[in-house]
């Protein structure tokens, strides 16, 4: 694979993403559903590739043309397939870079209810996903028991985590799980926004919201729907912390990302070596070998941020610029992941796919409607709707739904959600346990992991209901 091949592939993925953006701009239905442009671009790439256009041309009996394999050549698809596994490391490395790391006490006081609710949802996705696999998918469809982790990986983790776990699934002999998890993540985003808007209407009409009182308030202005900011309202993408003649600020921030990933890599290699000379050698069980880099890159970002908080007197790291790097990486990841999705794999496992999607959606709805008011002492709807959006596939979906439910930020939902991430992301939703869950099921079987997830879910649920819910 030459450098020019990689460069051309990135140019084309950028073009696909741009077309996806303008499709959203001219499509009011897509605007009202708040479908990300990266998702639209990904579907455009999928339809123009070999999985759709190529098969249609073949079925039509037109062979030997440049469209027989779709509009994109094979070498380009090979590059796109590799992109999600690379960019997920950048995304997770930037999660906490530029954020002031507060004390645990501060986070717990403000975000405690949202932490317990979010943790309950995440561990419940393991519980019900593994139960569905044990009782239905494995005995009736012959699906590998590792499928029990797919709901949490895809819904709570989203496209990034699903793409990052693809290599682990492949190493453990469950290759089709990569496409299944990406498909589930896509379902999660679509239904998360649709059900979120429906529940917002329901909440206002039944008086469950404390901020919105009128159904007509459930809207966003035209600029938010189209995704185009009015010219007079445009702000800087970030603060310039260094003079460009010394080093370009964006280059400096990209270097910080590289350091965070490097720290994560060192940690991962240290854990692998530690495992080899301790329990791995004694038990012949090697978990760390299958742990992907991205959750450790997140830990590396936290370590780097704590170091900079203490020693960087010039405060050269800006959160705004770091968010731009994260956003670029996420857009490229989603577009390339959807564009290279294997519809054949999903078609061959259609019923298991539908069952897992249904179980995940139903559990998330139950956790929102039933557990939310019992675990949140105040503003339960505004707080819970953010956790629901995130649990369906994207942090951005949770933020969007909270913005609609509380446009003037009158509730503690938004601030609590931000703090919640610091005690949430390192564990589940793409954290260390998310990465370890698949090798744990592979080595120990689904029952021990089910019991562990059930106990942890009950712990967080009990803490939310009987501690925070009583305040």
Query: Nearest Cα to 253, choosing from 202, 329, 174, 154?
Result: 329
Confidence of residue 219 (pLDDT cuts 50, 70, 90): low
- Which of 119-123, 257-261, 349-353, 388-392 shows the lowest mean pLDDT across its residues? 388-392
Q: What is the pLDDT of residue 1?
A: 66
**Dihedral sign, Cα of residue 186, residue 188, residue 192, residue 198:** positive
Rounded Cα gap, residues 340 and 319, in angstroms: 31
Residue 98: CA atoms inside 13 Å, Cβ hemisphere, count?
Answer: 24
Rounded Cα gap, residues 203 and 201, in angstroms: 5
Burial class of 244 by CB neighbour count within 10 A (0 to 12, 13 to 18, 19+): exposed
Q: How open is the CA angle 177-182-183, to the nearest 5 degrees?
A: 95
Tell me the domain boundaries of the chain.
93-229+321-332+342-468
Rounded Cα gap, residues 158 and 152, in angstroms: 9
Give tens-digit pLDDT for 359-409: 999 999 999 999 999 998 888 888 899 899 889 877 777 777 887 787 777
Give tens-digit pLDDT for 280-330: 777 777 788 888 888 899 899 999 999 999 998 888 999 889 989 988 998
**Dihedral sign, Cα of residue 319, residue 119, residue 306, residue 436:** negative
Q: What is the pLDDT of residue 410?
A: 79
Tokens 């499709």 sit at which residue? Answer: 23
Q: Is residue 157 within 8 Å of 126, Cβ to Cβ?
A: no
- Which of 136-145, 198-207, 434-443 shows the lowest mean pLDDT across its residues? 198-207
Rounded Cα gap, residues 179 and 119, in angstroms: 26
Structure tokens at 189: 């985003």
pTM of this prediction?
0.86
* Helix (H) or strand (E) segment spanning residue 114: helix 104-132
Q: Is residue 84 within 8 Å of 333, Cβ to Cβ?
A: yes
Helices then strands, each counted (H, E), the chain: 24, 0
Give tens-digit pLDDT for 47-84: 898 878 877 777 766 666 666 667 888 889 889 988 98
DSSP states of 387-417 as a string?
HHHHHTT-HHHHHHHHHHH-TT--SSHHHHH
Tokens 């400096």 sit at which residue? Answer: 252
């Amino acid at each position: 694979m030459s450098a020019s091949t990689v460069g051309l592939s990135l140019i084309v993925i950028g073009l696909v993403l741009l077309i996806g953006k303008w499709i959203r701009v001219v499509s009011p239905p897509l605007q009202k559903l708040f479908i990300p442009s990266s998702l639209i671009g990904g579907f455009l790439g999928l339809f123009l590739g070999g999985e759709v256009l190529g098969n249609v041309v073949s079925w039509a009996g037109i062979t030997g043309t440049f469209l027989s394999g779709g509009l994109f050549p094979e070498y380009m698809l090979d590059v796109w397939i590799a992109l999600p596994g690379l960019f997920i490391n950048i995304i997770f490395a930037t999660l906490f870079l530029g954020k002031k790391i507060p004390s645990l006490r501060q986070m717990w006081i403000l975000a405690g209810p949202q932490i317990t609710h979010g943790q309950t949802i995440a561990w419940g996705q393991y519980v019900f996903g593994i139960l569905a696999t044990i009782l239905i998918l494995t005995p009736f469809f012959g699906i590998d028991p590792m499928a029990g982790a797919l709901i949490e990986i895809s819904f709570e983790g989203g496209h990034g985590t699903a793409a990052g776990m693809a290599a682990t699934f492949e190493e453990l002999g469950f290759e089709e799980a990569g496409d299944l998890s990406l498909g589930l993540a896509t379902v999660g985003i679509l239904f998360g926004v649709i059900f979120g808007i429906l529940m917002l209407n329901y909440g206002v009409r039944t008086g469950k919201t404390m901020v919105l009182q009128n159904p007509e308030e459930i809207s966003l202005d035209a600029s938010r729907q189209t995704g185009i900011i009015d010219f007079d309202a445009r702000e800087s993408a970030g603060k310039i912390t260094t003079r460009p003649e010394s080093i370009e600020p964006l280059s400096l921030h990209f270097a910080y990302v590289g350091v965070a990933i490097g720290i994560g890599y060192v940690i991962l290699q240290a854990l692998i070596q530690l495992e080899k000379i301790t329990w791995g050698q004694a038990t012949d069980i090697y978990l760390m070998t299958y742990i992907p880099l991205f959750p450790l890159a997140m830990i590396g970002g936290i370590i780097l941020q704590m170091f900079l908080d203490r020693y960087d007197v010039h405060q050269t790291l800006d959160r705004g610029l770091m968010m731009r790097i994260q956003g670029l990486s996420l857009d490229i990841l989603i577009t390339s992941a959807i564009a290279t999705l294997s519809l054949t794999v999903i078609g061959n496992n259609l019923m298991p796919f539908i069952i897992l999607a249904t179980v995940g959606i139903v559990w998330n709805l139950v956790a929102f409607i039933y557990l939310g008011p019992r675990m949140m002492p105040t503003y339960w709807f505004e707080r819970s709707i953010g956790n629901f959006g995130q649990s369906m596939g994207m942090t951005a979906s949770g933020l969007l739904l909270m913005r609609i439910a509380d446009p003037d930020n009158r509730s503690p939902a938004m601030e609590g959600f931000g703090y919640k991430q610091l005690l949430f992301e390192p564990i589940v939703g793409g954290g260390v346990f998310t990465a370890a869950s698949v090798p744990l099921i592979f080595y120990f079987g689904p029952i021990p992991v089910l019991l562990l997830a059930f106990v942890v879910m009950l712990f967080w649920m009990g803490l939310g209901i009987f501690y925070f819910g009583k305040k």
